[in-house]
Amino acid sequence: MVQDERYMQRCLDLAILGAGTVSPNPMVGAVILHDGCIIGEGYTSPYGGPHAEVNAIQDAYQKLGEAEAQIRFRTSTMYVSLEPCSHFGKTPPCADKLVELQFERVVIGCLDPFAKVNGQGVKKLQDAGMDTTVGVLTDACTFMNRRFFTRIQQQRPYVILKWAQTDDGFFSPEDAAQQWISNNASKQLVHKWRGEEDAILIGTSTALIDNPGLTTRLWNGKNPKRILIDKSLKVPADAAIFDEEADTIVFNANQTDWQKNKKLIALEHFDLYLPQQMLYQLYLMDVQSLIVEGGAKTLQSFIDAGIWDEARVFVSRQRWGRGKPAPLLKKSAANVQKVGNDDLNIYLNGRNT
């Protein structure tokens, strides 16, 4: 079991390399072990490309040659952090490939909750007589794909709340002027996060006051889809959020339209269950994860609705004495990290009190 956990951890280390590119697929890593040596490893390619198991097999082919690799597979263990798929999607079923190549053993981190897989991949392996172990580092494997699991099981994106506040609990000045709270390292980290998630959301006031582009300009990563809450369509057409750097979706009360990279979606009964309405629409568009970077009112609306999964809160050393209070989370942080002289508090909804 210690060996299984060691190589499953390697699968997880590989899986995270797919962050920001595989959605709406899960992040998966795979390792092929033969006589105590890794002969192939891989992780899921960008969406539409080969899955982790196939990339690990191809890696072994490149190292050993196809004929020699296939001989060794028959006495090898395939480690994979998520159950091999059993259905035809963008790619053929990975479970069929493992059966075809006659791996001696397959070790799986956790089952895939997707209805077309959920246990069916394991069944294919077992029906072929393969030694199959399920449930190694299960919690870590599930947490790795918490975005994917949330979309499949709750029919909504995984929601990450993000904000910065002063040491004495203020979010912004009383006059609503823009004033930076976090340090430069924290700003760069936020841009890294943007590249790892599918979409980022702000409200009307943030768009008008800060005029953010919501891109990854401080990091080398893809720009997320930009989501704007703008009930009365007050944000001007020349605002930075409407530039051509990324697609922008505008939830409003009046108009549904598609203009180049700008999509307007009118919500019926706009003020009724707004977070729930927006998240369901995003789910239908295959948005798997969402960072909420809006103002205090927008952030608090998700907190009050209980529809959030993770909160990342920067606390600076600044003390203002007055200002608009930060959103209120009635939880203790699951983890606190130092980012320069800022404290980064991580909260996990449902996992801590």
Q: How confident is the model at residue 352 (pLDDT cuts 50, 70, 90)?
A: very low
Note the pLDDT tens digit of each residue in 199-254.
Answer: 999 999 999 999 999 999 989 889 999 999 999 999 999 999 999 999 999 999 99
Highest mean pLDDT among 160-164, 178-182, 322-326: 160-164
Question: Which CATH superfamily groups domain 1-150?
Answer: Cytidine Deaminase, domain 2 (3.40.140.10)
The predicted structure's pLDDT at residue 353:
36
pLDDT at residue 68 above 90?
A: yes
CATH topology classification for 155-348: Dihydrofolate Reductase, subunit A (3.40.430)
Q: Which residues are annotated as a binding site?
A: 51, 85, 94, 164, 180, 194, 206, 210, 214, 217, 293, 295-301
Tokens describing residue 332: 């203790």
Long-range contacts of 241-248 (CB under 8 A, 24+ apart): 241/202, 241/207, 241/211, 241/212, 241/213, 241/214, 243/213, 245/213, 245/215, 246/214, 246/215
Q: Where are the domains of the chain?
A: 1-150, 155-348
Is residue 196 annotated as part of the catalytic site, yes or no?
no
Rounded mean pLDDT of 49-70? 97
Tokens describing residue 193: 């996060």
Q: Residue 180's CB: how many other CB atoms inside 10 A? A: 11
Rounded mean pLDDT of 192-197? 96
Tokens describing residue 274: 């707004």
Q: Which residues are annotated as a binding site for Zn(2+)?
A: 51, 85, 94
Task: Identify the residue with better confidence: 218 or 150.
Answer: 150
CB 77 within 8 A of CB 106: yes
The whole-angstrom separation of Cα 227 and Cα 21 is: 19
Rounded mean pLDDT of 38-46? 97
Rounded mean pLDDT of 66-88? 94
Tokens describing residue 78: 């395939």
Three-state SS sequence of the chain: CHHHHHHHHHHHHHHHHHCCCCCCCCCCEEEEEECCEEEEEEECCCCCCCCHHHHHHHHHHHHHCHHHHHHHHCCCEEEEEECCCCCCCCCCCHHHHHHHCCCCEEEEEECCCCCCCCCHHHHHHHHCCCEEEECCCHHHHHHHCHHHHHHHHHCCCEEEEEEEECCCCEEECCCCCCCCCCCHHHHHHHHHHHHHCCEEEEEHHHHHHHCCCCCCCCCCCCCCEEEEECCCCCCCCCCHHHCCCCCEEEEECCCCEEECCEEEEECCCCCCCHHHHHHHHHHHCCCCEEEECCCHHHHHHHHHHCCCCEEEEEECCCCCCCCEECCCCCCCCCEEEEECCEEEEEEECCCCC
pLDDT at residue 151 above 50?
A: yes
Note the pLDDT tens digit of each residue in 326-338.
Answer: 999 989 999 999 9
The predicted structure's pLDDT at residue 351:
53
The predicted structure's pLDDT at residue 119:
83
Question: Among the listed ranges 132-141, 174-183, 205-214, 254-263, which one has the minimum average pLDDT value?
Answer: 174-183
Question: Which of 156, 148, 77, 76 minimizes the C-alpha distance to 110?
Answer: 148
**Annotated active-site residue in 41, 53, 83, 197:** 53
The whole-angstrom separation of Cα 54 and Cα 318 is: 51
Please name the residues in contact with 353: beta carbons below 8 A apart, sequence gap of 6 or more. Answer: 331, 332
Q: Which residues are annotated as a binding site for NADP(+)?
A: 164, 180, 210, 295-301
pLDDT at residue 90 above 70?
A: no
Q: Which residues are annotated as a binding site for substrate?
A: 194, 206, 214, 217, 293
Q: pTM of whole model > 0.85?
A: yes
Give the CA angle between residues 301, 337, 215 to the nearest 5°: 55
